[in-house]
Amino acid sequence: MSSEPAPLLALDLTGTFAFGLNGALTAVRAARLDVVGVVVLGMITALGGGVIRDVLIDSLPPATLVDWRFYTLAAAGGLIAFALSKHLRRIGTAITVLDALGLSAFAVIGASKALQSGLGVAPAVLLGVITAVGGGTIRDTLVGQVPSVLRSGLYAIPALVGASVTVATIEWGVYGLPAALGAALTCFLIRMIGIRFSLNAPEPPETRERKADT
Amino acid sequence: MSSEPAPLLALDLTGTFAFGLNGALTAVRAARLDVVGVVVLGMITALGGGVIRDVLIDSLPPATLVDWRFYTLAAAGGLIAFALSKHLRRIGTAITVLDALGLSAFAVIGASKALQSGLGVAPAVLLGVITAVGGGTIRDTLVGQVPSVLRSGLYAIPALVGASVTVATIEWGVYGLPAALGAALTCFLIRMIGIRFSLNAPEPPETRERKADT
Amino acid sequence: MSSEPAPLLALDLTGTFAFGLNGALTAVRAARLDVVGVVVLGMITALGGGVIRDVLIDSLPPATLVDWRFYTLAAAGGLIAFALSKHLRRIGTAITVLDALGLSAFAVIGASKALQSGLGVAPAVLLGVITAVGGGTIRDTLVGQVPSVLRSGLYAIPALVGASVTVATIEWGVYGLPAALGAALTCFLIRMIGIRFSLNAPEPPETRERKADT
């Protein structure tokens, strides 16, 4: 069972369900899948990032496979997406907000677990980002798409900021529930602003020139 | 070396060879590859699922990289597929039957190893399925195809049933060679019935409606 | 920190930077990516093979995430490729040579670490090859291409030879800096000859016949 404080745990579980739901919905749209494919891709989206983190910090078996609440919520999200994908489109905004909450929780918890396992500051931030975006990256690759996190939108960058704030507050000795929630809120707000104003991370100069030519 | 009883070990080795052969044949058909690609994809198909399982239950180095019989049989399957791919098409049915034997052995052995490592019932079943289908999933992704296990046919579902029967008999204290062979046989028969009658797992309601419209 | 002798360590660090640079350049060409995508794919190319090796031999957290020089050089390579991709094309030959040095260093160091971890001769050679080509394979898969190492060119084969020479000299008790550099040089020369004369590993007989028909 997880030893996180209740508010963080609630965020973590909410995020797991949201990632399962949203991950499965994205998969339904991207490729023709059967029930196995939809549920598996929802579960991979929700659990994949944390599993990669736990493998790399040698905390095995992975926490999300030990605590039944995580894999059950991930599977529930996938099954609901399978049954109701058409209707869930209408509440797309609500799902996006839940997904951003998950991104924030995963970045903060991932970075703090990595730092506690003895990794340095920079690798801990990196593992926070991997926890947050790793599952979606595997899902996109499995359905034959270049992962959206590598292409456009602000998705990895809010996770990077949230993980950095987490690691900084731990290093300064001021980490605790308020700092964790502050780091998560920072990530959440950047993600929301990115969606609202359709912000993108910069592209290589070469790509920009190619676009200017056409 | 493996400590499985002889009949299970024989199934496991047969399955490893069949997965190496069939995995490499599938890869030759899907993409233009050289000898390195064909043999590597055969080996990944045969060994990949067990390697993922062993990483997740922290049983490292992976059993199939320690016991020479597994990696040798996997490589032999890949090399034979490389040399004889055209002729092997004619015995496609025999290879499909061998592949179903492998699926069954991998699901049963994978679930039982995962449960013995201390995982709960549901994660152990999940790892049984991953052991059985993980290698083929990596192969399909590497040659740029959406893994067939996510799309159509009954492939994950027989593995799920076989792994569930295994875990149930262990929990009830009646596991042993007869139970293991029974679980494998259940998986094998469902797989064979699925092939014979071209059964598929259900698709999302949305996909079915889209098809009905056209 | 790494305990390799200075010349090998220098090769290892050079290779990490070259893989980060070359991996990111390849990614820019293959898919439209933002700065996150370019840097991440550079880092994955440079660090991915070593991470897979360390996961499989249970040497965690992975060496390249513990020693700051590795992840910093990998990220620097990715960032330089992001900023200067157009100009770097002009020094393509220099980058290819650096990349071949990296391939050689990774194959030798990977095989020797795997053998020291207690693996047998054949799996140790395999892990040497995985260390050398694993990162590029993940990168190609993420940008939606069949990994070039599976398709054409001599890339895995020089790594296989370099790893085999390494393992042979360790088994014969004559391993040391001269043997390691000799193994790396062998790999490097085969790779360079392969590039110079556009050599390819053989394709399956079936593929050759199909080509002859057209």
Per CB-CB distance under 8 Å, the chain C contacts of B145 are none
Looking up tokens 């289908």, which residue turns up? Answer: B133
CA dist A85 → A74, A148, B206 (Å): 16, 20, 7
Residue environment code for B66-95, b if the CB has 16+ CB neighbours within 10 A, otherwise e: bbeebbebbbbbbbbbbebbeebeeeeeeb
ipTM for the whole predicted complex goes beyond 0.85: yes
Structural domain boundaries in chain B: 6-200
Q: Which of C148, C149, C152, C206 to probe by mutation at the B interface, max B CB count within 10 Å?
A: C206
* Tokens 């599993």, located at residue: A51
DSSP C198: T
CB contact under 8 A, C83 and A205: yes
Question: Using a CB-CB distance cutoff of 8 angstroms, which residues of chain A are in contact with residue C40?
Answer: 150, 156
**d(C-alpha A102, C-alpha B200), whole Å:** 33
Q: What is the pLDDT of residue B181?
A: 94
Chain A CB contacts of B151 under 8 Å are 31-34, 37
Residue C106 φ then ψ, to 5° = -65, -40
Note whether A85 contacts B205, CB cutoff 8 Å.
Answer: yes
Residues of A in contact with C86 (CB under 8 A): 205-206, 209
Using an 8 Å CB-CB cutoff, list chain C residues near A200: 34
Neighbour-count burial of A209, counting CB atoms closer than 10 A to its CB (0-12 exposed, 13-18 middle, 19+ buried): exposed
Show pLDDT as tens, one digit a residue, over chain A (214 residues): 456 788 889 989 999 999 999 999 988 888 889 899 999 999 999 999 999 999 999 999 999 999 999 999 999 999 999 999 888 878 888 888 888 999 999 999 999 999 999 999 999 999 999 999 999 999 999 998 899 889 877 889 999 999 999 999 999 998 989 999 999 999 999 999 999 888 888 888 877 777 666 5
Q: Check A150 against C33: CB less than 8 A apart.
A: yes
State the pLDDT at residue A1.
45
Number of A to B CB contacts under 8 A, please give it.
88
C chain contacts of residue A205, beta-carbon cutoff 8 Å: 83, 85-86
Residue B1: its pLDDT value, please? 45
Q: Given an 8 Å threshold on Cβ–Cβ distance, is C150 in contact with B83?
A: no
Q: Which residue has the higher pLDDT, B29 or B51?
A: B51
> If DSSP codes are grouped into helix, strand and coil, which group holds residue C153?
coil
**Is residue B189 pLDDT above 90, yes or no?**
yes
Return d(Cα C81, Cα C176) in angstroms, integer: 35
User: Which residues of C fall within a CB distance of 8 Å from B32?
Assistant: 151, 203, 207
B-chain CB neighbours of C149 within 8 Å are: 36-37
Measured N-to-C along each axis, helices C177-196 and C92-116 cross at an angle, to the nearest 10 degrees, of: 140
* Nearest residue on chain A to B54, alpha-carbon basis: A61
At position B205, the amino acid (one-letter code) is P
Say yes or no: A137 contacts chain C, CB-CB below 8 A: yes
Chain A contact for C58, CB < 8 A? Answer: yes
Long-range contacts of A92-97 (CB under 8 A, 24+ apart): A95/A18, A95/A21, A95/A22, A95/A25, A96/A22, A96/A195, A97/A192
| Count of alpha carbons within 13 angstroms of residue B165, beta-carbon side | 23
B128 pLDDT exceeds 60? yes
Name which of C21, C36, C40, C70 to mutate to probe chain A: the one with the most chain A Cβ atoms within 10 A of its Cβ.
Answer: C36
Q: What is the DSSP string of C55-84?
A: HHTT--S-HHHHSHHHHHHHHHHHHHHHHH
Name the residue among B40, B68, B85 with its Cβ closest to that of C150. B40
Q: C153: distance to nearest CA of chain B, Å?
A: 9
- What pLDDT shows up at residue A85? 85
**Which of C55, C118, C201 is nearest residue B35 as measured by Cβ atoms?**
C201
- Which residues of chain C does A146 touch, with a Cβ-Cβ cutoff of 8 Å? 31, 33, 142-144
Looking at chain B, which residue has its C-alpha nearest residue A141? Answer: B141
The structure tokens listed for C72 are 């910093």
Report yes or no: C94 at the A interface, CB cutoff 8 Å.
Answer: no
Give the residue among A137, B147, B51 at the shortest CA–CA distance from C139. A137
CB contact under 8 A, A201 and C66: no
Amino acid C213: pLDDT: 65
- Identify the residue whose tokens are 């049963």: B108
* CA Rg value for chain C: 17
User: Per the structure block, which two tokens stand in for C49?
Assistant: 């093979």
Q: Does A85 touch chain B (CB under 8 A)?
A: yes
pLDDT tens figures, C131-178: 999 999 999 999 988 998 898 778 899 999 999 999 999 999 989 899
Q: What is the pLDDT of residue A186?
A: 96
CB contact under 8 A, C142 and A145: no
Give SS3 for C144: coil
SS3 for C174?
coil
Q: Cα–Cα distance between B152 and B146 in angstroms, integer?
A: 11
CB contact under 8 A, A142 and B150: yes
The phi-psi region of residue B55 (left if phi > 0; otherwise alpha if psi is between -120 and 50; otherwise beta) is alpha
The encoded tokens of residue C206 equal: 């079936």
Burial (CB count <10 Å: 0-12, 13-18, 19+), residue A93:
exposed
Whether residue A56 and residue C58 make contact (CB cut-off 8 A), yes or no, is: no
Which residues in chain A touch residue C44, judged by CB atoms under 8 angstroms apart?
A: none
Q: Flag if A61 and B123 touch (Cβ within 8 Å).
A: yes
Query: Would you state the pLDDT for residue C199?
Result: 84
Residue B211 has pLDDT above 70, yes or no: no
Indicate which of C119, C150, C190 best probes the interface with B, i.e. most B CBs within 10 Å of its own CB: C150
Gap between the Cα atoms of C92 and C18, Å rounded: 11
Tokens of B75: 């490589």
pLDDT at B31: 85
CB distance from A62 to chain B under 8 Å?
yes
Q: Is C198 on the interface with B (CB under 8 A)?
A: no
Residue B164 CA to residue B179 CA, distance in Å, equals: 12
Chains that touch B (3 or more CB pairs under 8 A): A, C
Helices A35-56 and B35-56, interaxial angle, to 10°? Answer: 70
pLDDT at res. C7 = 84
In one-letter notation, the amino acid at residue C105 is A
Q: How far apart are CA A84 and CA B206, in angstroms?
A: 8
pLDDT of residue A214: 57
Looking at the complex, report in whole angstroms how far the Cα of residue B194 sits from the nearest Cα belonging to chain A: 14
- The per-residue pLDDT for B201 is 84
- Give me the residue from A119, A141, A157 closest to C61, CB to CB: A119
Virtual torsion, Cα C55, C61, C67, C69, nearest 10 deg: 60
Are A32 and B200 within 8 A, CB to CB?
Answer: no
- What are the average pLDDT values for consecutive 10-residue runs of chain C, which has 214 residues? 76 93 89 90 95 94 93 95 86 86 94 93 96 94 90 88 96 92 95 89 79 64
